Amino acid sequence: MASSPASSRCSISIRDTNPEKVYPHAADGTAQKYDELPVKHHGNVDVSDPPFERHLGDTPAMTAQDEAGIIAFLKTLTDGYQPER
């Protein structure tokens, strides 16, 4: 069964904050992060450069102003599609 876009987004957004909910567990109970990636590529996952170095409880890397700027930019992108109202 294919996952829905909403469930895919949910999985992606919690894989770093709650990996135990997404990844299988090792014998010691720890989440086996990045199990979908061949082991030889695990070192390619960037967890040390901003904004990827965040840890649980850290403040967000982007400010509310950063987020507002990105949203404003995204709203300028259009292909002419008009949703039904």
Task: Report the alpha-carbon distance of residue 68 to residue 59 in Å, rounded.
Answer: 17
Write down the pLDDT at residue 4: 44
Tokens found for residue 36: 């979908």
Write down the pLDDT at residue 3: 44
The low-confidence residues of the chain, meaning pLDDT below 70, are 1-13
CA neighbor of 31 nearest in space, from 55, 54, 48, 15: 15
Write down the pLDDT at residue 17: 74
Write down the pLDDT at residue 13: 64
Write down the pLDDT at residue 36: 86
Write down the pLDDT at residue 19: 82
Write down the pLDDT at residue 72: 94
